[in-house]
Amino acid sequence: MTNPLLDTSSLPRFGDIDPDQVMPALNELLTAHRQTLNHLLGDDEDPSFDSLVVPLEAMGHQLSRVWSPVSHLQGVKGSPEWRAAYEEALPVLTEYGTEMSQNEQLQQAFVRVDEKLGPTANSAQRSMVQHALRDFRLAGVDLEPDAKARFKEIMQKLAAVQSTFSNNVQDASDTWSLTITDEAELAGLSEQMIERARTQADEPGTWKLTLDFPTYHAVMTHADHRPLRQTFYKAWSTRASDQGDSEYDNSDNIQTILKLRAEKAKIVGFNNYAEYSLARKMADTPGQVIEFLRHLAESCKEAAQRELDELSAQAGEPVAAWDVSYQLEQLKQNRFAVSNEALRSYFPVDKVIDGLFDLASRLYGLTLTRREGVDTWHDDVLFYDVSDDGGNPVGGFYADLFARSGKRTGAWIDECVCRKRLGDDESLPVGYLVCNFTPRDAQGRSFLTHEEIVTLFHEFGHMLHHLLTTIDYPSISGINGVPWDAVELPSQFMENFAWSYDVLERCSAHRESSESLPRDMFKRLDDSRHAGAALAMLRQIEFALFDFRLHTEFKGDGFDVLALLDDVRDEVAVVTHPEYNRLPHAFSHIFAGGYAAGYYSYKWAEVLAADAFAAFEEAGIFDEQTAARFRKEILEIGGSRDFMEAYVAFRGREPSIDALLRQSGIEVK
């Protein structure tokens, strides 16, 4: 019987896929790919784009199809078997990737293809070849044999330790819980959250709170009992650290990751990993990034201090780190008479999805239709087909929206299938959209906070970027090949629509009356938008500056990561965190994800997004011509063009931070 992972004729056969099939599938496929590569390089002394690059694109697409469900399932299943299969496969896959990118014969073949690209070559073809040549250089293709072998070893070790880092964060979160014996300590939490805690409890008359994000966020935002908030803050901020269970301590992993990254960068000629990281980004130098972050911090720090002082005045005492979210929520209720829990009652998840799909139709003429009978990995998962205004299929995506034990925290999208059109060989894009909202109750209902709606819109923006590409080559279609500091533009741009009454009205139906969100309630929500905006911005700048300085200044064994964090906080933060805070130990974005020396991308992309949305505000937020231009110049191009040139083609000029400051209620100086 054919290994189901190797069956790429349709959507993944999740019901048939087992962890023990991963290594046989990869070994069979990689053996075949190595043979194909040998034929390509041995049979053609004068390669062309069609004879070399197109077959390689087909190979890469096939490998992505096989690996995608493996990578996805280990993050959403919470299965030790899937985790083990993933970790066993990582070194094999990493070795193959490094082997390809260090292949001198292949690199020289690309050089010849680049020289032969004539006037008939399009920008996508030129971009693909240039990206490949850049990546050969970054992988050390020109290194001496010993250095090349060391680079390969570093890549394998990094893959393993970064996976361990991520697993430790998840395990530390999953194994922590708090049993409450006095219901009064749950005051302020929603009935839905209290009921969930009751059903999770091990003994009657008690309530069990876990450290999944919906519970943590609810406690920090709504729990009146301050000691409960402090307990959760400490549990969250010490996950996977020396302050918790030593089995999951990431202290050594942090040092190992930083040391390997620094060595990797220096082997290929960079002074530090930050310089290496920028080779694939819009920014040119570490100095540019640090200057950008410090300028943004300077622009909002005074406003953030005023916001913090206001919260302290409201609380009647200096607010601690575990008080900020709660006091902000109290401020919104007191000043604007708007409550997250009151708002939640208007936003059943299914109605929010309907409103989101209606927005996609109004902006881009898309129709999104649920398809029944698609094989998935959990009963909660739904699948949607996407078609254009002419009824032509565009692609599709899985939606896995609810938190559960073992599932990786946070929200993200990932590729299941990339768009591909190579001759007669065609694939439409398919993606995974994953969130961690409060699960459906006994009546099958789940209601979203407005913050969760913003999160859903954000991830859907990423999904549109994946789906609406018109680029036929997988390596630069959709989100592929896009500079990392621009890839968040489509997602953060979409967040703005979650602040439109016209949009939210179509997303709402009260849990009892089914009435849509009243305009006066929206007005209060909109008025509250700026509450805490400077504090939130400064917090993100703190993360970004810490990340970037860390990867610029790391000096080797014994580097004091926590001292650097303290230095960054002294410079830009206004909220004081206790000594036990271990932010780095669970900072998966930079230690296990793709944001190393790149977390600043969120703020840079937010500048782009606010500036782009200002164009919609000027023309009308549903203006067809503006939406068509955004789709053509931003969403469709993948990595086929210089991104700043594309942005200027959309906006008519380069971006300015002024729109972001105004959007956040911060005075533009």
pLDDT in tens, 115-155: 988 777 789 999 999 999 999 999 999 999 999 999 999 99
- Give 43's pLDDT tier (boundaries 50, 70, 90): confident
Q: Could you tell me if 21 and 133 lie in one domain?
A: yes
Q: Could you tell me if 108 and 195 lie in one domain?
A: no
- Give 387's pLDDT tier (boundaries 50, 70, 90): very high
Tokens of 94: 């990493």
Instruction: Tell me, yes or no, whether 562 lies in a domain.
Output: no
Cα 323 to Cα 578: distance, rounded to the nearest angstrom: 13
| End residue of a domain, out of 142, 166, 196 | 142
pLDDT higher than threshold 80 for residue 461: yes
pLDDT higher than threshold 60 for residue 584: yes
Percent of the chain beyond pLDDT 90?
91
Q: Could you tell me if 182 and 137 lie in one domain?
A: no
| End residue of a domain, out of 239, 264, 286 | 239
CATH number, domain containing residue 80: 1.20.1050.40
Q: Could you tell me if 75 and 119 lie in one domain?
A: yes
Instruction: Tell me, yes or no, whether 225 lies in a domain.
Output: yes
The H or E element that residue 90 is part of is helix 80-101
Instruction: Tell me, yes or no, whether 103 lies in a domain.
Output: yes
Instruction: Tell me, yes or no, whether 214 lies in a domain.
Output: yes
Instruction: Tell me, yes or no, whether 109 lies in a domain.
Output: yes
pLDDT the model gives residue 666 = 85
Cα 630 to Cα 360: distance, rounded to the nearest angstrom: 13
Q: Which stretches within 272-398 are classed as H helix?
A: 273-278, 286-315, 324-336, 340-344, 349-364
Instruction: Tell me, yes or no, whether 528 lies in a domain.
Output: no
pLDDT the model gives residue 558 = 87
CB atoms within 10 A of CB 271: 12
Q: Could you tell me if 138 and 182 lie in one domain?
A: no
- Give the contacts of 550 (CB within 8 A, at least 6 positions apart): 258, 561, 564, 590
Cα 252 to Cα 240: distance, rounded to the nearest angstrom: 11
pTM score of the predicted model: 0.90
Helix (H, G, I), strand (E, B) or coil at 577: coil
Q: Could you tell me if 42 and 100 lie in one domain?
A: yes
CB atoms within 10 A of CB 67: 18
Q: Which stretches within 139-250 are classed as H helix?
A: 145-175, 191-200, 213-222, 226-237
pLDDT the model gives residue 669 = 62
Q: Could you tell me if 82 and 203 lie in one domain?
A: no
- Give 75's pLDDT tier (boundaries 50, 70, 90): very high
- Average pLDDT value for the chain: 95
Instruction: Tell me, yes or no, whether 584 lies in a domain.
Output: no
C-alpha closest to that of 602 among 489, 472, 498 = 489
Residues 629-650 have a mean pLDDT of: 97
Percent of the chain beyond pLDDT 70?
99
Q: Could you tell me if 53 and 130 lie in one domain?
A: yes
pLDDT higher than threshold 80 for residue 665: yes
Q: Could you tell me if 198 and 114 lie in one domain?
A: no
pLDDT higher than threshold 60 for residue 36: yes
| End residue of a domain, out of 116, 142, 168 | 142
C-alpha closest to that of 532 among 265, 325, 269, 297 = 325
Instruction: Tell me, yes or no, whether 256 lies in a domain.
Output: no
Tokens of 471: 């680029």
End-to-end CA distance of the chain: 68
| Cα 636 → chain centroid | 20
Residues 67-92 have a mean pLDDT of: 94
Number of domains composing the chain: 2
Q: Could you tell me if 138 and 233 lie in one domain?
A: no
Active site residues per annotation:
459
What is the domain extent for residue 121?
4-142
Tokens of 159: 């893959």
**Tens of pLDDT along 395-440?**
999 999 999 988 988 999 999 999 999 988 999 999 999 999 999 9
Helix (H, G, I), strand (E, B) or coil at 210: strand
Q: Could you tell me if 83 and 28 lie in one domain?
A: yes
pLDDT higher than threshold 90 for residue 276: yes
Q: Could you tell me if 51 and 102 lie in one domain?
A: yes
